[in-house]
Amino acid sequence: MAATIINGYEIAAKIRSRTAEETLKLKEAGIEPCLAVILVGDNPASVSYVTGKQKALAEVGMKDRSIHLKEETTEEELLELIRTLNEDSTVHGILVQLPLPRHINGEKVIMAISPEKDVDGFHPVNMGNLIIGRKAFLPCTPHGVLVLLEETGVETDGARAVIVGRSNIVGKPLAILLTRKEYNATVTICHTGTKKLKEITRQADILIAAAGSPGMITGDMIKPGAAVIDVGVNRIPDSTKKSGFRLTGDVKFEEALEVAGCITPVPKGVGPMTIAMLMVNTLESALNFKNKANRQK
Ligand code: GUN
């Protein structure tokens, strides 16, 4: 029997709709949640991601403080902009779209963002708090994957989860989150140095592909009935498309469909969830600032 296709597009729409309701309440209380999205240069994939974020901000009714800087922007200019936004009390979230041009040190930039406004959850303070289970902004993609599993009714308690990919943005934080008591999964992280990868992935009740390697997970690497979450967003040249490319995941979808119990497609799987969770984090940040202001009254 073919796997159930998890509709991330629909689940994300539901989350945006709930976020819009909460945003409205906050606006009625005099606070307009505001996100500053900074894009440096014109990397086509980044432009497309930023456009998606702007559309979501408009839909949920939040203020969009997008700033598009030219490719030649210096590191110091970018850091100065971040300092200004850190100090601006009308801005609740700051996101610098990655990757940055090579002449800018991404780590330095992330460190410059106030942890209180780091709605990406990339700052070491947020990452550290996430690891020890303290309140933190959860990185949007791992958070989106957890919500997808919950909404689909995938049991994580006692499940064997295998994550392929060890990035700071997805693999590492997702592994930590899945081992929290509330999810209670047993997690294995695989990477380019993993030997006998198939033997490990075939044990996964939950298989998460986050390697950025198109089609690397084949049907024979999947345990029958497993939940397969494809985080990969790869641009593959395709002359039949007007854009000249198509998006494909890390999983060979047609093969996986025959084996898995449920699976996320690419596009319309994890991607829209990442943006929805960014809206959730921005709302949370605005609420945090409101509560802090009330405590100081
Ligand atoms: N580039 C790819 N994914 C992301 C993300 O989640 N946040 C940021 N800031 N840049 C990205």
Structure confidence by residue, pLDDT tens digits, 121-152: 999 999 999 999 999 999 999 999 999 999 99
> Atom 3 (ligand 1): residue with closest C-alpha?
98
User: 153-170 pLDDT, tens per residue?
Assistant: 999 999 999 999 999 999
Tokens of 29: 């209380």
Place of tokens 């993609």: 141
Mutating to test ligand 1, I would choose from 38, 97, 231, 274 the residue with most ligand atoms within 8 A of its C-beta, which is 97
Mutating to test ligand 1, I would choose from 49, 104, 172 the residue with most ligand atoms within 8 A of its C-beta, which is 49
Residue 95 CA: which ligand 1 atom is closest?
9
For the purposes of burial, counting CB atoms within 10 Å of the CB of 226, is it exposed (0-12), middle (13-18) or buried (19 or more)? buried
Q: Is the pLDDT of residue 103 over 80?
A: yes
Residues in the chain: 297
Q: Is the pLDDT of residue 217 over 90?
A: yes
* Ligand 1 pocket, Cβ-based, cut-off 6 angstroms: 95-98, 120, 140-141, 169, 274
Q: What are phi and psi of 207, to 5 degrees?
A: -115, 120
Which residues does the annotation mark as catalytic? 53, 97, 120
CA–CA distance, 62 with 23 (Å, rounded to integer): 7
Rg of the chain taking only CA atoms, in angstroms: 19
- 96: CA distance to ligand 1 center in Å? 8
| Coil, strand or helix at 244 | coil
Is the peptide bond between 115 and the residue preceding it cis, with omega within 30 degrees of 0?
no
Q: Is the pLDDT of residue 1 over 80?
A: no
Model confidence, pTM: 0.97
Residue 274 CA: which ligand 1 atom is closest?
6
- Mark the binding-site residues, compressed into ranges: 165-167, 233
Q: Is the pLDDT of residue 222 over 90?
A: yes
Question: 249 with 212: CB under 8 angstroms?
Answer: no
CA distances from 13 to 147, 262, 295 (A): 13, 20, 34
CA–CA distance, 94 with 182 (Å, rounded to integer): 29
| Coil, strand or helix at 237 | strand
Tokens of 141: 């993609």
